[in-house]
Amino acid sequence: MRTLAAVQQKTLKSPIHCTGVGLHTGVKAALTLRPAPADTGILFRRIDIEGRSIEIPAHWSNAVESPLCTMLTDGEGTTILTIEHLMSALAGCGIDNCVIELDGPEVPVMDGSAAPFVFLIECAGIVQQSGTRHVMKVLKEVRVVEGAASAELLPDDHFSIGFEIDFASKAIAHQSVSVALDPVAFKRDISRARTFGFLHEVDQLRAAGRGLGGSLENVVVVDGDTVLNAGGLRYADEFVRHKALDAIGDLYLAGAPLLARFNGTRSSHALTRRLLATLFADESSWCWTELAETDAAWIEPAHALSA
C-alpha cells in the first residue's frame, strides 16, 4: 500500500519589493516580502521605528477589532493597518512562511485588490521547504452573530468560502458567491476584486482620519446606484468577491490554513476575528493535521465558482 506524501511548507524564492500609499492613512510606505525559514509563519516587521525593528506575528490574537480594515498591534502602541489584502494573497498562493518588512504604518493599498501581491509573489517565485504543512481541521460548527450579520465555520475536508451581502444601492443589491479555493481559483476568481465604498461616506471617513489614501485608482466608488470608476467592474459581482477576499485574508490569521467551510452573511473584519477567537476558545472544535497530496483543494486543480 502506497504511503501518501505530506505537502511541504512553502516560502518565497527571493525577496521582492513594492511601494504605495496606505488606503486609510494616506502615508506612502515601502514593503518588502522576504523568504522565511520553515515554521516561521507570516511575520510583519516595522523597520521605520527609530532605533529598533518591531515584529508582530500575523495572528488573530494580535489583531484589533475594526470595521474598516484589519489591524495588528504589538500591544505597546505600534500598529500595522490594512493587512487583509496581502494576507489574502499569501493564503491564496499557499505561502506558509514570509517576513514582511514595512517602513510605515499601513500596507500599501496598491489597486485595492490582492492581485498586485499575487503578482509580486509569482515574480519572487515559490519554493518548497523541508517542513510539513500543518493545517487546522475544524471539527464542529462555530458561529458568531451580530444583528443581521453572521460568520460561521463548518467541518470540511477542504477550504471553501461562501459570502452573501445585501445593499440598498442597485449597483450592489443582493450578491452571493461560493468557491472552493486553490491557487488557480483564487487568482482567477477572487484576487482581482477591489475594495469598495460609497461617495456619501467619503467626508465622514476623512473627518475620522480614515480613507485618506483612497481614490478611483484603488477603490470602487458607488454614488447612489452608479459605479463611478471609468473602467467599471472587473467582475459583475465584484463587491461580494471582495468581501470573500477580505475574509480569506482575515481567516489566515488563524496561523495556518483551515480545513473548513466558511460562510459569511454581511460579515465584517471584526466579526471574522471574533469567529477565530470563538474557535480557539474551544479546544474541542479543531485539531492539527497534516495535508496530504490528495487534498487537491490546496495544491492544484481549480474549482468552479458559482454565484
Indicate the domain borders of the chain. 8-298
User: What phi and psi, each to the nearest 5 degrees, are found at residue 38?
Assistant: -55, 145
Q: How far apart are CA 279 and CA 259, in angstroms?
A: 13
Q: What local confidence, expressed as pLDDT, does residue 293 receive?
A: 64
pLDDT, tens only, 11-22: 999 999 999 999
Indicate if the pLDDT at residue 291 is higher than 90.
Answer: no
Within 8 A by CB and 6+ apart from 91, the residues are 186, 248, 249, 251, 252, 257
CATH class (in words) of the domain with range 8-298: alpha beta
Q: What local confidence, expressed as pLDDT, does residue 306 receive?
A: 38
Q: What is the pTM of this model?
A: 0.94
pLDDT band at 302 (very low <50, low <70, confident <90, very high): very low
Q: What local confidence, expressed as pLDDT, does residue 297 receive?
A: 45
Q: What local confidence, expressed as pLDDT, does residue 169 receive?
A: 97
Top-confidence residue, 4 or 157: 157
Average pLDDT estimate for 266-292: 95
Instruction: Locate 111 and state its grid cell.
Output: 489597486
Average pLDDT estimate for 52-61: 96
Within 8 A by CB and 6+ apart from 14, the residues are 35, 124, 125
Indicate if the pLDDT at residue 224 is higher than 80.
Answer: yes
134 is catalytic: no
Indicate if the pLDDT at residue 37 is higher than 90.
Answer: yes
Which residue, chain included where needed, has cell 466608488? 221
Q: What local confidence, expressed as pLDDT, does residue 295 receive?
A: 55
Maximum Cα interatomic distance, the chain, rounded to a whole number of Å? 66
R_g over Cα of the chain = 18
- Percentage with pLDDT > 70 across the chain: 93
Q: How far apart are CA 121 and CA 264, in angstroms?
A: 27
pLDDT, tens only, 172-193: 999 999 999 899 999 999 999 9
Indicate if the pLDDT at residue 105 is higher than 90.
Answer: yes
pLDDT band at 158 (very low <50, low <70, confident <90, very high): very high
Q: What local confidence, expressed as pLDDT, does residue 1 receive?
A: 36
Nearest residue to 91 via CA among 146, 135, 139: 135
Instruction: Locate 150 and state its grid cell.
Output: 453572521
**Do the beta carbons of residue 266 and residue 176 sit within 8 Å?**
no
Q: What local confidence, expressed as pLDDT, does residue 2 receive?
A: 40
Instruction: Locate 205 and state its grid cell.
Output: 471617513
- Percentage with pLDDT > 90 across the chain: 89
**Do the beta carbons of residue 132 and residue 8 sit within 8 Å?**
yes
Q: How far apart are CA 70 and CA 50, in angstroms?
A: 24
Instruction: Report the DSSP beta bridge partners of residue 97.
Output: 11
**Do the beta carbons of residue 70 and residue 270 sit within 8 Å?**
no
Which residue, chain included where needed, has cell 489584502? 85
Q: What local confidence, expressed as pLDDT, does residue 50 receive?
A: 86
- Among residues 17, 200, 269, 303, the one annotated as catalytic is 269
Q: How far apart are CA 232 and CA 224, in angstroms?
A: 15
Write down the H helix ranges in the chain.
Answer: 84-92, 115-124, 183-185, 202-207, 238-251, 269-281
Q: What local confidence, expressed as pLDDT, does residue 66 receive?
A: 80
Q: What local confidence, expressed as pLDDT, does residue 4 receive?
A: 54
